[in-house]
């Protein structure tokens, strides 16, 4: 793993109580950054934050619970973070959800109700816009960075549903447009994960076997793999903006 030195840098990680988000929070905290962890309020978020606090006492770790499918909740999460840290350096828009237990085939359009579309778009796309807009003054003041968790589905479709792939394609486009909106002081980039070992709601079956058959590196990506690139795009990559970097073990080569 790359070692980062982020003394006193301040970060907000959404969807940070598990999976990639938790790994990002871990790497930031281990690099001596202060981290606000967002997720839905409840035991999962509380447990994650308590674990980070015990592992990394040198860093300030706080919980900022909130349902990011609602614009007012997203604004509240942003405001609480800035108030607690007196500013912000890094925004990691990691929150996302499939809202289905198993993949919905592209042909099953009748399953994609208006309610389903609304939830998908709000969580996977709009939350990143609401937070970025609210936090723009703080990020401009610090000369910070934004990293969006997009998806391999934004490049070639697939994923958990047509709606999910469409939302992530929108997030890929939003990454480019926000890079224009925040330039030259703030860089905005994204990562596009492939297979990931995490407690995601949607099950794709035996991912290990699928990775052995279809991924040149023959393994499922671990949350730490994605966290490393995410934090690099925050702390380094000073001449990269508006890009979404695929990280998938080579599945699309």
Active site residue ranges: 164
DSSP letters of 154-206?
Answer: HHH--TT-HHHHHHHHHHHHHHHHHHHHHTTT-EEEEEEE-SB-S--SS--S-
Phi, psi torsion values for 25, nearest 5 degrees: -60, -40
How big is the CA angle at 137 (ends 131 and 139), to the nearest 5 degrees? 75
Instruction: Establish whether the linkage from the previous residue to 184 is cis, with ω within 30° of 0.
Output: yes
CB distance 57 to 32 below 8 Å: no
Token pair of 150, please? 């997009």
Measuring CA to CA, how many Å separate 105 from each of 142, 167, 208, 245, 251?
44, 16, 21, 26, 20
Q: What is the 3-state secondary structure (H, E, C) of 224-246?
A: HHHHHHHHHHHHCCCCCCCCEEE
Would strands 244-247 and 90-93 be described as parallel, antiparallel, or unpaired? Answer: unpaired
């Amino acid at each position: 793993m790359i070692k980062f030195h982020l003394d006193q840098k301040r970060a907000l990680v959404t969807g940070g109580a598990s999976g990639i988000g938790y790994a990002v929070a871990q790497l930031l905290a281990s690099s001596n950054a202060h981290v606000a962890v967002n997720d839905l309020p409840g035991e999962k978020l509380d447990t994650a934050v308590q674990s980070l606090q015990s592992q990394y006492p040198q860093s300030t770790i706080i919980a900022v619970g909130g349902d990011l499918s609602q614009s007012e909740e997203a604004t509240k999460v942003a405001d609480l973070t800035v108030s607690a840290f007196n500013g912000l350096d890094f925004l990691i828009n990691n929150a996302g959800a499939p809202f289905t237990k198993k993949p919905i085939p592209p042909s099953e359009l009748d399953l994609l109700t208006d309610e389903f579309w609304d939830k998908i778009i709000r969580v996977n796309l709009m939350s990143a816009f609401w937070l970025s807009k609210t936090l723009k003054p703080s990020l401009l003041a610090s000369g910070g960075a934004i990293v969006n968790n997009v998806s391999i589905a934004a490049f070639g479709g697939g994923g958990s549903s047509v709606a999910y792939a469409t939302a992530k394609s929108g997030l890929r486009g939003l990454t480019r447009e926000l890079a224009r909106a925040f330039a030259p002081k703030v860089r905005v980039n994204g990562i596009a994960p492939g297979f990931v070992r995490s407690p995601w709601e949607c099950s794709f079956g035996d991912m290990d076997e699928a990775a052995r058959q279809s991924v040149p590196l023959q393994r499922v990506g671990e949350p730490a793999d994605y966290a490393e690139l995410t934090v690099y795009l925050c702390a380094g990559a000073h001449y990269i903006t508006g890009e979404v970097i695929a990280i998938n073990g080579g599945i699309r080569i």
